[in-house]
Structure 1
Amino acid sequence: MESPQVIGLGELLWDCFPDRRLPGGAPANVAFHAQQLGLAAAVVTRVGDDLLGRELLDFLQRQGLSTELVQRDPFHGTGTVTIELSEAGSASYEFLKDSAWDFLEVTPALASAFQQAWAVCFGTLGQRCETSRRTIQQCLTLAAPDCLVVYDINLRPPFYERSWIEQSLGHAKVVKLNDEEVAVLGPLLGAGPLSPAQFGRWILDRYPAELVCITRGGAGCLVISRSESCDVPGEKVQVVDTVGAGDAFTAALIWSRLEGWELARSARFANRVGALVASRAGAMPELAEELRGLKEAL
């Protein structure tokens, strides 16, 4: 297997809406959109040896994503999450317990892939089980020094603890979160209530991160490095649902940073990609043509 350039590490599952189910899981969403942007991407995860798992593998293969790093679990079922949408398009989530992705294991194939990856994206939810948490942290230690390790904090109550978050922050070059998570993490990490800009600076002062990205839904994003700050206004779109929009933002940020774009351009591009996905149904809409147009526009 040719090693992937970008790895989405963590959960792969079915997003179950009131009227349909669609492939999802934040790291898988990031890998999907990175692939649409032209990078060779793969999902490192685990699915059940069941119909739902086979359907997810078929979907990934149809999208050109490698499934060779997706483990099959004979004892635990493929993950699902029940999603309820508000009238404004925001979502609430209920995750199936003891899903296959909770039991991800380190293998020689995983170790080799992480040693060669250009970028890795992981989150907090995928670490809710001790088995997967240990695996994820071990995989991150295998990444090359120049690998762009992105921690998309992605809090899903009650599946987070301070110790997991602090350990994860210790691995990240890029930290991505939303403004609602800033309000939770400031007190949780001992920073107290801070504005998004203050919290971003606080993270940069205490952890190895080189970049902090804070998304604000329709209000755009704030991207802070050690030398500059970019405040990008929101894009006017008709929101269908917000599921996966932040993950598309992350994928676009990864692509543009690997391309060497300057920070403001990278932030604008990621913001536009996130808004585009929010204007479509589901976390993984097929948008390769539109994404090519956005690249050229910037």
Structure 2
Amino acid sequence: MTGLSMPLRPVVFGEVLYDMFPDGTEVLGGAPFNVAWHLQGLGLAPLFVSRVGHDRLGDRILHAMDEWGMDTSAVFQDPDHPTGQVRVSLENGQPDFDIVPDVAYDHVMPGMVKNLYDHRAYGPLYHGSLIGRMPDSAQTLSLLRQSAPSIFMDINLRAPWWNKAQLDELLQGINWIKMNDNELATLSGCQIDNNESVEQTTRGMLENYAWQAAIVTRGSEGAMLLTPEQTRLIAPVEVGRLVDTVGAGDGFSAVWLAGLLRDWSDEVKLQRAVEFASAICSLRGATNQDVEFYRHYRYLWTL
């Protein structure tokens, strides 16, 4: 939408959790939650749909969302399952991630959202692949996908919580998809080692699934956007001070959604998404509580 009209509110469905480190550090995250956080910071007022436990961590999540001004009306509390956790351990100096199963976000029930899209203020649906790992939330995801006017799927393959048959079903009927080159290689079974192989493999999938656009992020190689009409390649934006790359892809997705809602051209969406993802790499962690960080982009992009 343009002019003075208000954009539709994006709906973000998926996991919210805490990364639990051996030293006792607890870090709030989950890719869909990170996307919703950025969208809120950018002034897009997302509706985040998930579930947390009736426990200490669940209360902390709701408090953090309140403090950030996020709508908590679709984050349901579960008296029977705990808030999501990822247990991080170190083995030979390398981190190992155990995504705890059967947690609150695995049990978002279809009845909780069955009339959500009757409210015309809601627009594109964002989701990943982890939220469909267990039957309750998988059924809810299916219901939301049937109701949403458009769908942006961000592939986040987390072993052992996916299989090719289920993923193939999710890849159908969506409008936009984002994945990194490693995920592209896993999905396609092809070797991905240069831009030519990325383009060739992705274009085959684009035509097979009839997506409007496919985005492949390539880290230090930048990102590639493919539509039925063209291919665009953009180099990464130089990071002044690289802190870590955690959550850069989630920042990219948030800005792509913002561009969809504001009718930016594909070229502008791609450029701004890469720029924002690079800025995230200069911060510690996946999200940022600095209002000025987001205000800069809201002003720059007239959000």
Structure 2 distance, partners of 1:48, 1:129, is 16
- Is 2:8–2:261's contact at 8 Å kept on the other side of the alignment? no
CA displacement at 1:164 relative to structure 2: 1.7
1:121-270 → structure 2 map (5 Å cutoff): 121-144=126-149, 147=150, 149-187=151-189, 192-193=190-191, 195-237=197-239, 238-270=241-273
Residue identity matched to 1:233: A
CA displacement at 1:165 relative to structure 2: 1.2
Residue identity matched to 1:105: M
Q: For structure 2, which runs of at least 5 residues remain unmatched after alignment?
A: 1-6
Equivalences, count: 285
Structure 1 distance, partners of 2:191, 2:256, is 27
Q: Please give the TM-score of this superposition, normalised by the length of structure 1.
A: 0.88
Alignment partner, residue 102 of structure 1: 106
Structure 1 distance, partners of 2:143, 2:257, is 22
**Is 14-23 or 217-226 further displaced after alignment?**
14-23
CA displacement at 1:111 relative to structure 2: 2.7
Residue identity matched to 1:114: Y
Alignment partner, residue 114 of structure 1: 117
- Is 2:81–2:104's contact at 8 Å kept on the other side of the alignment? yes
| Secondary structure in 1 matching 2:76 | strand
Q: Deviations over 1:234-259 (max 9, x none)?
A: 12223322221111100001101221
Task: Note closer, same or farther for the CA distance 1:234–1:17 as it changes in structure 2 (3 Å cut).
Answer: farther
Does 2:271 match 1:271?
A: no
Task: Note closer, same or farther for the CA distance 1:151–1:59 as it changes in structure 2 (3 Å cut).
Answer: same
Task: Note closer, same or farther for the CA distance 1:141–1:266 as it changes in structure 2 (3 Å cut).
Answer: same
Does 2:30 match 1:25?
A: yes
- Is 1:218–1:235's contact at 8 Å kept on the other side of the alignment? no
Residue identity matched to 2:267: A
Q: For structure 1, which runs of at least 5 residues remain unmatched after alignment?
A: none
Structure 1 distance, partners of 2:223, 2:290, is 21
| Secondary structure in 1 matching 2:110 | coil
- Is 2:248–2:277's contact at 8 Å kept on the other side of the alignment? yes
CA displacement at 1:196 relative to structure 2: 1.7
CA displacement at 1:172 relative to structure 2: 1.4
Q: Which residue of the other structure, out of 15, 24, 28, is the alignment partner of 2:19? A: 15
Q: Please give the TM-score of this superposition, normalised by the length of structure 2.
A: 0.87
Task: Note closer, same or farther for the CA distance 1:65–1:288 as it changes in structure 2 (3 Å cut).
Answer: same
| Secondary structure in 1 matching 2:62 | helix
Structure 1 distance, partners of 2:161, 2:67, is 31
- Is 2:237–2:278's contact at 8 Å kept on the other side of the alignment? yes
Task: Note closer, same or farther for the CA distance 1:92–1:185 as it changes in structure 2 (3 Å cut).
Answer: farther
Q: Which residue of the other structure, out of 67, 75, 79, is the alignment partner of 1:70? A: 75
- Is 1:81–1:95's contact at 8 Å kept on the other side of the alignment? yes
Residue identity matched to 1:136: L
Structure with larger Rg: 2
Task: Note closer, same or farther for the CA distance 1:168–1:269 as it changes in structure 2 (3 Å cut).
Answer: same
CA displacement at 1:71 relative to structure 2: 1.4
Structure 2 distance, partners of 1:200, 1:295, is 32
| Secondary structure in 2 matching 1:214 | strand
**Is 162-171 or 10-19 further displaced after alignment?**
10-19
| Secondary structure in 1 matching 2:127 | strand
Structure 2 distance, partners of 1:215, 1:143, is 25
Structure 2 distance, partners of 1:133, 1:24, is 20
Q: Deviations over 1:118-143 (max 9, x none)?
A: 12110111111122112211211111
